[in-house]
Structure formats: C-alpha cells, structure tokens
C-alpha cells in the first residue's frame, strides 16, 4: 500500500484530529479467522467508528444481513449484539452522541454504546442504504427511489425532497455540504440536509459512495482538498467543491462499493479489491489475498489493541480487515 510521505502525513492528520507522530497505515490484513466466535457467516454491509462514545470509549460498529450487529473497542475482538431486527442493516454512522444504523424497510436503530440498540419511528418504508451526520445535530439517511430523511436529534425524522426518483446508495457530509450519490450517476447536494439540488449526471454508472479529503501534491505545495465518488465498473469522479464533477479514468473493471479518507483515500469493492490514493486521481492496488466482496471502509483512531491511525473494512461472510 502506498503511503504519504512523513511531511504529508502530518499535515493530513492535522485535518483529521490526529497527531504528527502517528504512523502511516500498513497493508490491510485479516484480523480474525473463520473459526473465531466473533466472526459471522452473514454479510457485513455497514461500518462506523467513533474515537469516543458518551461513555468515553472508542468503538467500532459493524452491521449486516439479517440484522447482524457487532461492536468492538479495539477493532480486533468483536462482540455480537442483538439488533432486535431480522432485516438487512445497510449502513451506520456515529452521530454526535449515539450510533445510528439504517436498513431495509425504513429501519432506524440507535445506540449510545454500540451494545444496546433501540428502534426509532421512521417516516418511510423504503430501503435505506446510506447515512451520515454533520457532527453536530443533523443526520441524513438516503435510500430507494430517491428517499431522503432528516433528523436534528436522531429520534424525530422528516422526509426531504431529493429532487430525484433514482435510488440513492450513499451520503456524506464534509466541508459544509451533504453529497448523496446513486443509480445512473445521480448526485444531489444540500447545505443543510433539507433543501437538495440535483447535479446534472456525467456518468450513467451507479455511484456508491463519496468521500472528501485533503492531500499535499508535493513537498513545497499547499494542502489541497477534493471530493471523490466511486461506483460500478470502477467509476471514478472528482470535484473541488462537490458541485462541479469531473470524470477520471476508472480505477478498476470491478465494482467499487465504498470509499473513505483519513491519511489517504481508500476505496474497496467486489472480489476483495482495495485501492489507495493520495490525491483521489492516481490509484494503486493493495494486495492481501482476501477475495470476498467488501462493502464498507472507515478511517479510525483506535486505542488499546491498535496502534495509531488506520482503517477498517468489512464484507461478505463476516470478512473483517484492519490496517494500522
């Protein structure tokens, strides 16, 4: 896996709440075997992390098919928890004071610690595929047929007009902007989660997730930031502002399902594919021998069993990878 230079790494971490002394991530590795009690045969579809819950513990939450739910305080040892639903759970986020999970049939679940989960009333029966938070009060979930729902407290939700009927697969908040992406290249944006604007599509490929991050082009260059969206057929789009997008050469021929940024961009996809990039344009494959489809990746700053900064990724048949 290509890593940023030591000078670039320090600058990137400064924008992510990290420190200059933190090591760069190493290659992703399998952190538990198929016989481990903490690994499931179910597909893991969603993943999130927080450096500190309201109880002061850094935690990661993974969710998946059939209501599967797990949490970990070190990214290595995972505990099975009861979601109390049997429906697919597709995405997760930590929203200021609680974890928030969304799933099929409009499912909304919350937890303050990742262990005990409670259902929330939902204004929709549509499948929800993505969720994000602005880190303050507002959370946004997106899903089938252009569904967008918004909450200012994680409990009371209201529908918003997405300006599209296309399925929305992922949503991200960064730099004062919500960006949701979906089927047939749809992109919609909002400054507040309530009022949305459709961006004219520049690709017909399904877009799965967008991310935003900073990079340093050279030793003497200033820090620059960019939005990156990935999707089916290795589709890659970039944008300086989240509004005007540019098509880039595909990263791969396979489908890309998720992307995250911490010290660099990490994109994951079908067949166990993982790619890394400093600037969101030039990408390199990370080879580690896992072939299961990967569905989610997040940037972490874990304590205890981990070292410094890194990434987690999850996928089919309980696949659970880490990089520190």
β-pair partners for 212: 227
Residue 34's Cα: distance from chain center in Å?
Answer: 24
User: In this structure, what CATH number is given to the domain that contains residue 263?
Assistant: 2.130.10.10
Mean per-residue pLDDT for 268-282?
96
Higher pLDDT residue, 73 or 306? 73
Does 183 reside within a domain?
yes
Does 215 reside within a domain?
yes
Mean per-residue pLDDT for 254-266?
95
Does 178 reside within a domain?
yes
Structure tokens that stand for 181 in this block: 């992406």
309 vs 324: CA distance, rounded Å: 6
Domain with 228, as residue range(s), is: 6-323
179 vs 28: CA distance, rounded Å: 28
pLDDT at 199 over 80: yes
Mean per-residue pLDDT for 283-291?
87
Does 141 reside within a domain?
yes
Query: Could you give the C-alpha distances from 124 to 7, 127, 146, 150, 172, in angstroms and in order?
Result: 47, 8, 11, 11, 20
Does 162 reside within a domain?
yes
User: Based on the structure, what is the number of domains in the chain?
Assistant: 1
Residue pair 296/318 in contact by the 8 Å Cβ criterion: no
Per-residue burial over 181-199, b = 16 or more CB atoms within 10 Å of its CB, e = otherwise: bbbebbbbbbeebeebeeb
pTM of the entire predicted model = 0.87
- What's the pLDDT at 52? 67
Does 73 reside within a domain?
yes
Q: Considering only CA atoms, which of 87, 166, 152 is closest in space to residue 125?
A: 87
Task: Tell me the pLDDT band of 97, cut-offs 50, 70 and 90.
Answer: confident
Does 1 reside within a domain?
no
Does 132 reside within a domain?
yes
């Amino acid at each position: 896996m290509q890593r940023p230079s030591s000078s670039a790494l320090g600058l990137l971490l400064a924008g992510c709440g990290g420190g200059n002394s933190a090591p760069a991530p190493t290659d992703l590795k399998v952190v538990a075997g198929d016989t481990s009690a903490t690994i499931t045969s179910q597909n893991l579809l969603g993943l999130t992390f927080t450096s500190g819950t309201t109880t002061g513990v850094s935690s990661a939450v993974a969710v998946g098919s059939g209501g599967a739910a797990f949490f970990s305080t070190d990214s290595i040892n995972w505990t099975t928890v009861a979601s109390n639903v049997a429906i697919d759970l597709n995405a997760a986020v930590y929203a200021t004071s609680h974890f928030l999970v969304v799933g099929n049939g409009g499912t909304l679940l919350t937890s303050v610690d990742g262990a005990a989960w409670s259902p929330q009333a939902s204004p929709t029966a549509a499948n929800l595929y993505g969720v994000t938070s602005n880190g303050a009060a507002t959370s946004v979930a997106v899903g089938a047929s252009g569904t967008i729902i918004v909450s200012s407290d994680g409990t009371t939700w209201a529908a918003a007009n997405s300006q599209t009927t296309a399925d929305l697969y992922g949503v991200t908040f960064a730099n004062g902007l919500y960006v949701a992406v979906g089927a047939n290249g749809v992109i919609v944006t909002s400054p507040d989660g309530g009022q949305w604007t459709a961006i004219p599509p520049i690709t017909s490929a399904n877009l799965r997730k967008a991310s935003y991050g900073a990079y340093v082009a050279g030793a003497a260059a200033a820090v620059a930031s960019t939005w990156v969206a990935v999707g089916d057929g290795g589709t890659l789009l970039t944008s300086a502002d989240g509004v005007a997008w540019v098509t880039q050469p595909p990263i791969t021929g396979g489908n890309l399902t998720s992307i995250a940024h911490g010290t660099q961009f990490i994109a994951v996809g079908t067949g166990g594919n993982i790619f890394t990039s400093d600037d969101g344009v030039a990408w390199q494959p990370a080879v580690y021998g896992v072939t299961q489809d990967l569905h989610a990746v997040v940037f972490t700053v874990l304590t205890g069993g981990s070292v410094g900064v890194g990434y987690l990724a999850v996928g089919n048949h309980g696949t659970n990878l880490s990089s520190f």
